[in-house]
Amino acid sequence: MSFELRDVSFSYPGSQSTEPAISNINLSIKPGQMVIIVGSNGSGKSTILKLLSRFYDPTSGPESILVDGIPISRYRISDLRRATATLTQEHSLFPLSLGENIGLGYADKVKDTEMIDRAAEKGGASHCMKKLERGKETRLCTQNEAYGYNLPDDPDHPLQAELEKLQKNIELSGGETQRIIAARTFMRFETGNVRFVAVDEPTSALDSEGEFALFDNLIRAREGKTMIFVTHRFGHLTKRADLVVCMKDGTIVEAGTHEELMVKEGEYAKLYNIQASAFLDDGPS
């Protein structure tokens, strides 16, 4: 899936800001490219992903964003959704089993245990499910109408143990939640319909090893898909990208490969070197 942005501007509805979220954005993305959008907070990175996913329409007009050479507004929303997979911090888990939460990525196969296991492995969720007694059958935020009346006070009574099981809710850590949601995205890939993958800072609760493994699995699955990542952490991603887009104050200030932008010694190189020096400072003395 290709994208072309022509002088794209956008202001969020109801915003009190006198400045648009992004302004005069010109960008061409070829089919199958891996693009990394970087920049400081509030630079407009996530806004671009929301426009390309058509969660909003640009204030610059419906003809200013082209998808495969056709204005994005001419596509049916359902067709765009079918061809898109998004992975962000804003996704939620539902009061279903862990397996069903993953399976929702491909609703027609929500009971396909082999497919769910495969997606869980790629999303890094297998370990957190295996440590639970019921595995992927474990339910989140269990809701039931089971109550005990006239039960013996003996805490060792078997009925007391059964009642405790019914009333117990499972709580996942932030990292475990992000792994389940990532697995749902890999489940969505199983549909064979996904041509655009939008990834927006989905690993804030993961350690460096978990983040590396997740991004590596996403990149391995990129065949036939255009992937756009929004990230604060440059790391290995920008070095593997076909195109790095650096934003500041709602505009694109630089675009190119990692090597090209480092040679320019501009905004991207400045941000990259700040992160690199922070890692060096945290190292052993």
Residues 6 or more apart whose Cβ sits within 8 Å of residue 182: 87, 122, 123, 124, 125, 202, 214
Which percentage of the chain shows pLDDT scores above 90?
Answer: 69
Higher pLDDT, 206 or 217: 217
Q: How far from each other are the two terminal CA atoms of the chain, in whole angstroms?
A: 48
Specify the pLDDT at position 285.
47
Query: Given a cut of 70, is residue 282 above it in pLDDT?
Result: no
Q: What per-residue confidence (pLDDT) applies to 83?
A: 98
pLDDT tens across 117-158, in order? 999 999 999 988 888 888 899 888 644 444 545 666 777 777
> Taking a C-beta distance cutoff of 8 angstroms, is the pair 138, 98 a contact?
yes
Residue 206: its pLDDT value, please? 87
Give 208 or 87, the one with higher predicted confidence.
Answer: 87
Average pLDDT over residues 19-34: 97
Strands 65-67 and 3-10: antiparallel
**Helix, strand, coil shares, percent, the chain, to 5:** 40, 20, 40
* Maximum mean pLDDT: which of 174-178, 179-183, 202-206: 179-183
Q: What's residue 283's pLDDT?
A: 54
Residue 115 in this model has a pLDDT that exceeds 90: yes
Residue 61 and residue 101: Cα distance in Å, rounded? Answer: 37
> By C-alpha distance, which of 121, 103, 104, 123 is closest to 112?
103
What 8-state DSSP symbol labels residue 138?
A: P
Q: Does domain 3-146+154-280 have CATH number 3.40.50.300?
A: yes
pLDDT value for 134: 82
Q: How far is CA 20 from CA 52, 177, 247, in A?
A: 17, 33, 14
- Whether 231 shows a pLDDT value over 80: the answer reads yes
Give the residue-averaged pLDDT of 208-237. 92
Range with the largest mean pLDDT of 126-130, 245-249, 276-280:
245-249
Question: For residue 252, is pLDDT > 60?
Answer: yes
How is residue 30 written in tokens?
Answer: 């070829």
pLDDT of residue 162: 65
DSSP character string of 157-184: SHHHHHHHHHHPPP---HHHHHHHHHHH
For the chain, the structural domain boundaries read: 3-146+154-280
Average pLDDT, the chain: 90
Give CA–CA dist 190/200, Å, rounded: 21
Q: Give me the residue label for tokens 């143990």.
A: 161
Q: What is the pLDDT of residues 44-87, one digit of tens each?
A: 999 999 999 999 999 999 899 999 999 999 999 999 999 999 99
Position 284 scores a pLDDT of: 53
Q: Which of 106, 70, 95, 249 is nearest to 172 (CA)?
A: 95
Rounded mean pLDDT, 20-31: 98
Q: How confident is the model at residue 167 (pLDDT cuts 50, 70, 90)?
A: very low
